Chain A
Amino acid sequence: MAAARAAVVCGLGTHLPSRVVTNADLAGELDTSDAWIRSRTGIGQRHLAEDGTATSDLAVEAGRRALKSASTDTVDAVIVATTTPDHTCPATAPAVAARTGLGTVPAFDVAAVCTGFLYGLAAGAGLIAAGTAHSVLVVGAETYSSILDPRDRSTRAIFGDGAGAVVLRAGDRDEPGALGPPVLGSDGTGRALIQVPSGGSRHPIRAENAERADPYFRMAGAQVFRHAVERMTEATREAVARAGWTPEEIDVLVAHQANVRIVNAVADQLRLPRSRFPVHLDRVGNTAAASIPLALADAVTAGALRPGHRTALAAFGGGLTWGATTLTWPDVTPV
């Protein structure tokens, strides 16, 4: 039996909206402070989209840059991971494909909240393994500013907008950039811990109930914290074992950038030095499905992530969902 084709990362692109909102800016309108936000989360500022900018606008820019990084202008499929699609219907990916000049290729969204990028990578790798596609653009893109309660200091301090994307191509399991076996999981019994209560089919927002509707993103912080640490730790251990590595052999672990205290706790649970866990959230906040490609690009630019590094990716998000995978970092320059 011929071995299934591996999915190989061959391009990386990112895009952040230009408007920067600092902790001091938030303290000017909410009961919070720079010291409170930094000590609770490690976040110093976030980028927010201007009104009128949608998720696809950020995704198109990141996608273009990923294609440029991969020195290609075509792919066979587009996957967009997002919690904040342009519309409830249709999906955002077809618009991204069309506007990126990719024509009529298959395009669909993946909804796994902050784990979306890893679910998207697994879906893209599956298309390649099955021979459905030879190359796939996987984008994580979010405009959380569109679903945050303006009066909720906890979520407004945490989340930012942005997009990141990779190009996957068919390749060999042993070459740099080849994604290792993905570990994915979900636990729907925890669905209320991270939720937008109204606006879906469970609680549609209609004229007669609009006053009671809650259209904003809600999160039970302390409970999410524990689940995030335990699930990311467990998923990383499993993904690393499936790759034939030990945890100590991980050179760099890029974790979903939710909160620096979560990242540190995962490092401690794995008994690895915190220095192997790049931190990007101090400058961009939690960008949900976009956080891993954004953090990868930042780590490459900073010199913390270099070709040949044994790299693990781990994420946790609403659903609940979680995941991890591995790759040997390839010689890819982020654009």
Chain B
Amino acid sequence: MSDTYPRLVQLLVDNFGFETDEVNPDDTFSALELDSLALVELTLTVQQEFGVKLSDDDLDADSTLGQAVEVIEQKLVAA
């Protein structure tokens, strides 16, 4: 079982004031009320944490946390 999801949740907890049990893999970024700048901040933090490069096209407000995990893992395999 990959640890990508818990690491992503930890970034949300550390940087955006969420509690671990408030977020679910099916939540979209817009449902979490992350505005467009916060989404960019999160992708920059993900890049730093996971060492993968995310572009503006990889994630948007309608992406779920589960989809974000898939994108990150695909990039990790490709890297």
Contacts and interface: CB of A to CB of B under 8 A. Distances in A.
Interface in B43-59: 43-45, 48, 56
A308 interface: no
A241 to B, nearest CB: 19
B52 to A, nearest CB: 14
A225 B40 contact: yes
A221 B36 contact: yes
A226 to B, nearest CB: 5
B39 A268 contact: no
A223 B48 contact: no
A259 B37 CA distance: 11
Given A40-B37, A221-B36, A265-B41, A226 B48 contact: no
Interface string B8-41: 0000000000000000000000000001110111
Range, interface on chain A: 10 to 19
A221 B37 CA distance: 8
A72 interface: no
Interface in A266-292: 268-269
B44 A229 contact: yes
Nearest to A229: B44
B35 A40 contact: yes
A265 B44 contact: yes
Please classify the interface of chain B as helix (H, G, I), strand (E, B), loop, or mixed, using the class held by over half of its residues: helix
Most buried by A among B35, B39, B40: B40
A265 B37 CA distance: 11
Nearest to B48: A269
26 contacts: A40-B35, A40-B37, A221-B36, A221-B37, A222-B36, A222-B37, A222-B39, A222-B40, A222-B56, A223-B56, A225-B37, A225-B40, A225-B41, A226-B40, A226-B43, A226-B44, A226-B56, A229-B40, A230-B44, A261-B37, A261-B41, A265-B44, A268-B44, A268-B45, A268-B48, A269-B44
Closest 3 A/B residue pairs (Cβ): A222-B36, A226-B40, A225-B40
Contacts of B36: 221-222
Contacts of B40: 222, 225-226, 229
Contacts of A269: 44, 48
A181 to B, nearest CB: 26
Contacts of B35: 40
A252 B30 CA distance: 36
B56 to A, nearest CB: 6
A35 B45 CA distance: 25
Contacts of A221: 36-37
